[in-house]
Amino acid sequence: MAVNLINGRVATAGGVRDGLSVVIEQGRIVAVTPDRPSSGQDHDLRGRLLAPGFIDTQVNGGGGVLFNDDPSPEGVAAIAAAHRRFGTTGLLPTLISDDLDVIDRAVDAVEAAIAAGVPGVLGVHIEGPFLNVRRKGIHDASKFRVLDDDAVRRLTRLKGGRTLITLAPEMTTPDMIGRLAQAGARVAAGHTDADYPTMREAFGAGITGVTHLFNAMSQLQNRAPGVVGAALENQDAWCGIIVDGHHVDPVAFRLALRCRPHDRFMLVTDAMPSVGADSDHFFLQGRRITVKDGLCYDESGVLAGSDLDMAAAVRNAVALLGLDLSQVLAMASACPAAFLGLSDQRGAIAPGRAADLVALDDDLKVVETWIGGVRDAA
C-alpha cells in the first residue's frame, strides 16, 4: 500500500515548498504532488521539514562500535543504526589505516551487510594505509604501506556497493590511482603532503575527492599552493568538510565556498564510536581517546575523528557558513550521492528515487527517518 507523507515542508531541488504530498510505495518515491492523494495511507508530518536522507561518506564508528575493532556485519549494522537516529540514511563505514587482513574483513563485512539488507549501508571507505607519515594525524604510521598489486586487488573486490579509497597521491603513482579508478573505486586525496603539481597530476589520473578539506594535508601558501590550493582551484572534485567548529575555522570554509561550486562540497562527520553512545572515551588501536565538549583527542591533543553527527553538521553549516538551508541540505544528500555515482537513486525527493528521507523539526533535529520506505522514529 502507498504511504502519503502530507502536511510537511518538502525540500526540493528548487527550494523548500509547502503544500506538497510525497507518495512512497515499495521503497521508492512514486509521486511528489500538490494534490492530496485519494488513495493510500496518510502520514501527517505536522508541518515538519521533509528532506532527503543524509549520506555520510566517512563514518569510523557509532553506537559504541569502532569499525576497526569490529569489522563484521553486526558491527556495520550497529554503526548504521546509531547514525540513523541523526538522519543518516546512507553511509560508508570507514576503516582507519590497518593491516591488509583487517581491510579484507572490513570489505567482507560490508558486502555481507549489503547482501543481508542492513538499512543504510552503501559501501565502504578505506582511509589509508597508503598515507604520508608527515600528515598522519591520528593514524598509526606503523600500519602504512605501499600500494601494490595485491592491495589494489583487495581494495576493489567489493560487490554490491561503492568503494571509496583515501590515499596520499605522492605515496603512489598516477598509474596506480588510475587502476583503482578504472576498477570502479572512488579515489580521494587525504593525509597527504603532496605539492601542487603532484595534486594536479593526481586529479588527472582519477582522484575525484578530497578527504576532510584543510585537515591533514599541505596548506595553501604564497609560493606553495599545496593540496588545499589545488583543491580550491579544481572545480570538479568533491571536498568533504567537517563542520563541527573545531576541525576547521568557519572563516576558512567560507573562503573555500567562494572559490568553488557549492555542489562540490559535502558534509561528512568523521564520526567515532561516541556518536550515539554515552561515553567519555574509547580506544583506537590501543590509544585512549577522550571525548569532551564535542571533541575526540588523544593524550597529546591530536584530534581523533569527531563526535559529530549529520544533523548537527547541518545545523552547524547553517549557523556558521552563511548558506541557506537548501544549500546545506544538498551538501548532506545530493552532493555525496553525486560523488558516489548514486544521483539517479538517492539524494533528492523526486519520483523514482529511493524513499530515504528525514523529517526535521524547527530546530533541525531529527524526528523520523525512512530508509527504503521503512519508517523509524528518532
| pLDDT tens, N- to C-terminus, the chain (378 residues) | 899 999 999 999 889 999 999 999 999 999 999 988 888 899 999 999 999 999 999 999 999 999 999 999 999 999 999 999 999 999 999 999 999 999 999 999 999 999 999 999 999 999 999 999 999 999 999 999 999 999 999 999 999 999 999 999 999 999 999 999 999 999 999 999 999 999 999 999 999 999 999 999 999 999 999 999 999 999 999 999 999 999 999 999 999 999 999 999 999 999 999 999 988 999 999 999 999 999 999 999 999 999 999 999 999 999 999 999 999 999 999 999 999 999 999 999 999 999 999 999 999 999 999 999 999 987
Q: How far apart are CA 180 and CA 163, in angstroms?
A: 10
Identify whether 345 is part of a domain.
Answer: no
Regarding whether 38 and 83 lie in a shared domain, the answer is: no
Positions marked catalytic: 270
Domain co-membership, 148 together with 274: yes
Asked whether residue 357 is domain-assigned, the answer is yes
The per-residue pLDDT for 340 is 98
Residues 45, 82: one domain? no
Number of domains in the chain: 2
Same domain, 238 and 253: yes
Residue 268: exposure state from Cβ atoms within 10 A (0-12, 13-18, ≥19) = buried
Are 303 and 364 part of one and the same domain? no
Q: Are residues 35 and 146 in the same domain?
A: no
CB distance 198 to 204 below 8 Å: no
236 within some domain: yes
Q: What pLDDT does residue 377 have?
A: 81
Within this chain, do residues 106 and 240 fall inside the same structural domain, yes or no? yes
Residue ranges making up the domain that contains 249? 54-339
Alpha-carbon span 208 to 210, nearest angstrom: 7
271 within domain boundaries: yes
**Does 354 lie in the same domain as 300?**
no
Both 35 and 129 in one domain: the answer is: no
CATH number of the domain at 265, please.
Answer: 3.20.20.140
Amino acid letter for position 349: I
Say what the pTM is: 0.97
> Is 317 inside any structural domain?
yes
